[in-house]
Amino acid sequence: MDQIETQRKVAGLNEERAKETVGRAKALLEEARIHEGFTRIRAVEAGVVTEKRIEEGSLAAPGTPLMTLEDTSGFRLEAYVDERLSGRVKVGTPVVVVFEALARRLPGAVDEVIPAIDPTTRTFLVKIGLRDPLLKSGLFGRVLIPEGRKEILLVPRVAVVEKGQLTGAYVVDNQGIMTYRLLKSGRPYGEQVEVLSGLKAGERIVVGGLGQAVDGGIVKQK
């Protein structure tokens, strides 16, 4: 009985030691996993590395930036706007931003308005959200902010006929007679051009077969 009791106690002691050994092994494993995590750099979001601040083999101290990562999913343009537009430019106001370096006009919207007026420049700050794969940090852009609405008269570019230094279009009257009329053109809008004077809304003009158009010619409807 004494011998069996001694063996039981020894077995129990060995079991406790085995449990302690397993516990220490688990702790060492968890510590190894933590150290392994220090060897990996994970970005909080996808982007492009724009600056590297450390070289391979250098010691990385906690809190020291290793690189700069730029989020390319969206950009923000900051612009100072004249104080006369204070109260008229609001969050959500649609704008157009012109990037001359990229030869692009991008639509955007005001994300944030800082209403405080700078007493030196008499301007206030607005922030505009933009999305385009060609954009990069540091680009210069001009912001076009709509101040109101106006009606303009547009005609197709193909209808504008240049004769020397004269600009005009062939206007067709109610009898179908063509007359070359001088026009004063304005800004282009895609495939159309603004007419400042020389034409009224509702008048008919020739947009096809201009190679055969002559002053006084007759247009027949089929």
DSSP for residue 45: S
pLDDT at 150: 79
Max CA pair span of the chain: 135
Report the percent of the chain where pLDDT is more than 70: 95
pLDDT at 9: 66
Average pLDDT, the chain: 85
Q: Which residue has the higher pLDDT, 221 or 119?
A: 119
- The phi, psi pair for 103, rounded to 5°, reads 55, 50
The string of DSSP letters for 94-149 reads: EEEEEETTTTEEEEEEEEEEEEEEETTTTEEEEEEEE--TT--TT---EEE-----
Mean pLDDT calculated for residue range 166-194: 88
Give the CA angle between residues 168, 174, 178 to the nearest 5°: 35
Q: Tens of pLDDT along 118-141?
A: 999 999 999 999 988 888 888 999
| Exposure of 199 in the CB half-sphere (CA atoms within 13 A) | 30
pLDDT at 11: 66
Residue found under tokens 């704008």: 95
Q: Tell me the C-alpha distance between 96 and 82, whole Å.
A: 16
Inter-residue contact 140 to 187 (CB < 8 Å): no
Alpha-helical (H) ranges within the chain are 2-37
Give the CA angle between residues 61, 65, 71 to the nearest 5°: 150
Closest CA to 81 of 119, 129, 117: 117
Mean pLDDT calculated for residue range 173-184: 88
Most confident of 34-38, 63-67, 72-76, 120-124: 120-124
Mean pLDDT calculated for residue range 170-191: 87
pLDDT > 80? residue 149 = no
pLDDT > 80? residue 16 = no
Q: How confident is the model at residue 216 (pLDDT cuts 50, 70, 90)?
A: confident
Q: Give the distance, in angstroms, between the CA of residue 219 and the centroid of all CA atoms in the same chain.
A: 48
Enclosing H/E stretch for 70? strand 67-70
Q: Tell me the C-alpha distance between 50 and 70, whole Å.
A: 6
Q: Tell me the C-alpha distance between 107 and 104, whole Å.
A: 10
pLDDT at 4: 72
Q: Tell me the C-alpha distance between 103 and 106, whole Å.
A: 10
pLDDT at 97: 92
Please give the domain boundaries of the chain with CATH numbers for all domains.
Answer: 75-144 (2.40.30.170), 153-212 (2.40.420.20)
